[in-house]
Structure formats: C-alpha cells, structure tokens
Amino acid sequence: MNQVLLNDPDASDWARPEVTPTQRRTDVIGAIALFLGAILSMALYRISGYMKDPAPDWLSLVVVAGTMLPLAFRRRWPMPILIVVAAGCIVMWTISVPEPLFSNIALFMALYTVGAWSSRRNLALYVRAIVIVVCLGWLVVSMFRMATGDTLTDADEALGIKAGAIMSPFVAYALIQLLTNLLYFGGAYYFGNHAYEAARERARAEISAHEQLLQRGVIAQQAVTIERLRIARELHDAVAHHVSVMGVQAGAARAVLDSNPEAAKAALSIVENGSRNAIEELHGLLGALRAPEQPGVLEDEQNAEINSAYASLGVSSIPILVDQAVASGMPASFAVVGKPRELSPVTSLNLYRITQESLTNARKHGGPHISATVRLRYLDDAVEVEISNTSRSTKAAGQRAGRRASQLNQLGAGLGILGMRERVATDGGELHTSVPERGGFVVRARIPLTNTTTS
C-alpha cells in the first residue's frame, strides 16, 4: 500500500507495480509453451510443403528459439524484448522459416506488453510505431516480390496466385494480408494501452480505498475526542457547582458552629447532600473516561450509560438549582415565561448546565450581597434561559463584581463562558453576556425551537 501511495497514478511518470514472482513464472512458462508450439507448427508446415526452399532445420530451430524464448522476460524489459522478437520474426520470414503461426503470436504478445507495462509512454509509442512500420514495410516488399514471381510457394500456386497477376487473385490476396496485419497490429496496440489504463484505474481505486480507510480512522478518533471533551465539560460543570455549594456551606457552618449549632447542622447537611450528588454524577463520567482507547467511537453501552445518568437533568431541574442557591445563602428566584415546550434531551441538559454554571459563578464572584434571577422563556421560535445577578451593595461594587466574573469566565480555558458558548452552538443558538448599568452580570442563552423540539 505504501508503494501505491508513493506512485501517484495521476502523475505523468506513473509506473505499474513491479512484476511479481507469479507473473515472472507465468511469462517463463508461456515462452516455453510458445517455443514448443512453434517447433510443432514448423514441423507440420514442412510436411505440408508450405515453402519451396525452407531454411535448414538447425537454423530454423535457432531463430525460433531466439524469437520465442525472450518472451520469458517480456514484462521486465518490454521494449528490448519487442525489438528482439520483431527482429527474430523478420529474420524468420526472410530466410523462409516455415512457421508463420506462432511467430505472429509472439509479435502480438511483445507489442501488447509494451503498451501494457512500459512506464515510458512516449518512448513506447515511438518504438511500437517503428516496429509496426518496419513490419508493414517488409510485408509490402514481400508482396512486391510475390507479384514479380520471385517467392511464390507451392501453397501460393495451389491457391491460384500467379506471378504477374497484379489485377486479379494477387490483388485480393495482398489486400487480405494488409488488412489482416493492420487489424493485428492495431489490436495489439489498442489492447496494450487499454491494459495499462486499466492498471492505472486499479491504482486509483486502491488509493481511494486507502484514503477512505484513513479518513474513517480520523473521523472515529475525532468522535472519541469530541465525546471525551463533552465528558470533560460535564465534569467541570458538575464539580464546579457541587464543590462551590459545599465550600460556601462549609464556611457558613464554621462561622456559626459555636453560636448557632442548628444552622451549622443544616449547612453540613447541604454539604453532605451536595457531595452525594456530585459522586453520583461523576460515577458515570469517570467510568467512560477509564474505558480503554478504542480505534473507533466509544462503545454504545458507555454512551447509553452516560445518557441515562443525565436523563433526569434538564430544564425541569432548574428549580432545584435555584433552591440550592437559596439554601446556600444567595437569594434567587425562578420564573417560566410562555407555554412550555418539549425539548430534546441535549438541549434541555445544556440549558440546565448553563444555569448551573451561571449561579455557581454568581456565588463565587458576586460578593456577599449578591442575588440572582432565573427566567426560562418559551418564545414562538426559540427558547431562552436568562440568569441575571444583581448586588445589593453600591452600583460601582456591583459593576466591579460583574466585570470580575466576566474576566474569570473568559480566562477559564474554555470551561466558563466559552464552554457555555460551545453548548449553545451545538444547538445552533447564541449566547449573550453583559454587565448592566445597575451592576451585576447577565447571561442569556437563546436556542431556536426547530433545533430543540423532539419528534
């Protein structure tokens, strides 16, 4: 396959792959079979009296061997073998070797092989053209000699071909010979070129199949990467939210441990519940991350486990997030605007995570007097979730807190506002963030309903 890739079939210098050992053995066997067939043919033609004065047996045998046996190397050295075979055929015809059958087959094979295997296409064209012209020229000369009565054989006379009969039987005979040889040489030329182009097409098909195999591997690896990035994003959102709540409640419990043990107990209860929820959410994700690398995408069972683990997380769970924010000491409210629609699981989860991330950031960066409002809007063509936080401190302090939250999220290596944008982009939506004049910070995610409703 590497050889195919390095040998571009569309390049001008493309060459067929090297001759295989099997093809070499086939050529050797074919050359020997032609040689043996030529000997038998020569013997039969001698018995039939095909020629008046045939060449001696030993000379005929030497010339036939020199014409047939070189075909054992025809695919390794196509053009030199063609020249040798063509020269041998002309010698056979000139010295009257009584073997016209297998010599023509040998010449056809040599011409065909140059067209089918020679990588130097221009030179192959010239060599074949020269051989064809020379052979046809020899045929014309031979016809002329026959016309003058110099080389008529007993077989020719038996056919009624007479010397000097230029306008009758000889003309027909000469035309038949010319037509036969034109078809013969033309066929060898055409089929040789056709075999070469067929080999080029096979090489193109092999490269295309190899590229498709590589592309499938790249796509599969990208699918694994995308899935693991999704899991990493889910890990970030889950850990950031639960750990933030646990940290705030642990701090509150420590502050009132001596003065108000009941409040400290309630805060620690929230910490306990938060840790339990975090462990449950992380269990499915970590199981997928611990899975061994596969050459393709993650296993369907792993995806099913992940999806089932988050089937209950969606817009219906947003009120729970608001309640958790209130329990942690941050005043928050939730409102639904419009008629609720059924959303796809992915969209519902993304809106839930965006709300979770925004409330977590508000607690972390909004200051001690922060409050939040969550609105879920079902519009005619879209669904929106808006999380706004405002500070009960001074306007300047609120603006500083909002700008600080924006900076921290944008520096979050894709896990803050950038992570929210990625979630919204998967559904073809948009994310808008702003710092109002009154202070605080606003996050608004808008997703078209055509991309979110389930069928």
pLDDT > 50? residue 221: yes
The per-residue pLDDT for 262 is 79
Chain mean pLDDT for the chain = 75
Going by pLDDT thresholds of 50, 70 and 90, the confidence category of residue 136 is: confident
Length reported for the chain: 455
| Global confidence as pTM | 0.46
Give me the sign of the Cα torsion angle 344, 346, 347, 348. positive
| Sequence-distant contacts of 338-344: CB under 8 A, at least 24 apart | 338/377, 338/378, 338/379, 339/378, 340/378, 341/378, 341/383, 341/449, 341/452, 341/453, 342/453, 342/454, 343/314, 343/315, 343/383, 343/452, 343/453, 343/454, 344/427, 344/451, 344/452, 344/453, 344/454
Burial profile 189-215: b = 16 or more Cβ within 10 angstroms, e = fewer: beebbebbeebeeebeeebeeeeeeee
The per-residue pLDDT for 420 is 83
The number of angstroms, rounded, from the C-alpha of 119 to the middle of its chain's C-alpha atoms is 28
Which range (85-99, 141-155, 392-406) has the least confidence? 392-406
Q: Are 224 and 294 in contact (CB under 8 A)?
A: yes
pLDDT > 80? residue 89: yes
* CA distance linking residue 275 with residue 286, whole number of Å: 16
The per-residue pLDDT for 1 is 43
pLDDT > 90? residue 190: no
* CA distance linking residue 423 with residue 371, whole number of Å: 25
* CA distance linking residue 143 with residue 138, whole number of Å: 9
For 156, the token pair is 């020719």
Q: Are 135 and 86 in contact (CB under 8 A)?
A: yes
Q: Express each pLDDT in 244-258 by its tens digit.
A: 667 777 777 787 777
User: What is the residue extent of each domain of the chain?
Assistant: 2-215, 314-455
Q: Express each pLDDT in 62-74 by its tens digit.
A: 999 999 999 999 8
- Give the Å distances, CA to CA, from 396 to 37, 139, 399: 107, 108, 5
In this structure, the number of other CB atoms found within 10 A of the CB of residue 53 comes to 8
Beta bridge partners of 220: none
* CA distance linking residue 59 with residue 36, whole number of Å: 16
Q: Express each pLDDT in 310-332 by its tens digit.
A: 556 788 889 988 988 888 778 89
* CA distance linking residue 417 with residue 250, whole number of Å: 27
For 154, the token pair is 């007993």
* Domain 314-455 fold: Heat Shock Protein 90 (3.30.565)
